[in-house]
Chains A and B, each alone.
Chain A
Amino acid sequence: MLFLVAAGLQLVFGVQKILNLACGSFYALGAYAGVSAVRAALAAGLPAPLFFPVLLGAGLALAVIGPAIERLLRPIYDRDESFQLLLTFALVLMFEDVIRFVWGTAPHQLGNVYLTYGQVRVGALTVPTYNLVVIACGAAIAAGMGWFLARTRFGRIVRATAENREMAEAMGVDMARVYSRVFTLGVALGTVGGALVIPATAAVNEMGIDLIVEAFAVVVIGGLGSMRGAFAGALIVGVVKAVAIATWPEVEMLAIYVIVIAVLVLRPAGLFARATA
């Protein structure tokens, strides 16, 4: 799911050239909204196995905040990065308070709903089927994004805009509309990511900030602005984390930073940095 958030960050940075710290907040919001939506659905008598579409729907529905947030960020597009970081970090803090206000400070959990899909044995491990569903979903979204960017007209316009905004405008591309849609897509990637991850963990207020750090690690490893990089980076970070937790839990974060530093030293632009024309 880290991939989804990192992909959102990549997409927004690639096209709009802004570093959006608030992507972590979208993830947290998606998680909380997912918890609430599933609880409400179960209380309304929905059969438990249908919780998955409810989560997806909650994540997607939350993306409606995208255009409003994008509007708020519009004045800083041409400003220095420090302004972007300041304003988006302010958003992070505001969203934290919104979450505290609406959901309180206690962690929220969905209990064992995710086990309704059963478990499967993979070799010596027992894995909840839901985790596999989430992985499949991430892969499907990755493939969908790839298809969207490579094959659709709007995807091509998005790539052209990312490469040369001025020239895209001269070709009749309305930047305000492209930005609004791209940003909303980035928000949706974050909120869906948050919603999908929640059955297997707990929604806590710090999850947004924690995730930003990891998402940036993914972006640094993969290369800023590259979708394939986001996918590869998320895989690397995910696997390293899992291995570290299983073998030597104390170095979990350290291991990731070691990789980040190694990438920065050896390939400063990231593993999948795009060659610029």
Chain B
Amino acid sequence: MAKIKYIEFNGKEHEADVANGLSVMEGAIQNDIPGIDGDCGGGMSCATCHVYINDDEWYKKLPEKEMGEDDMLDQAYEPKSNSRLSCQLIVSDDLDGLKVHMPEKQA
């Protein structure tokens, strides 16, 4: 279990307890947190669960991107070098306290 903080583009914060094994995207969907769509259901084929990891320490701590994630991020709205697809971030105790910032929109 990890406490994840989801921060909307307008600054509104949401905190959710997300069970280990779920993705950060699923944590948002299951808790009705706006700002993450996850259209493809987590298959890394849509780029609508795009988030920024603004804290550099956290960015480095996360598992590295697998092949294909950056390709998909090319198609996201306003990708930056600290962009991730939240469907690829699998929750474990290690992610307790993670903060993700949502982009202005997903599509």
- Say whether A and B bind each other: no
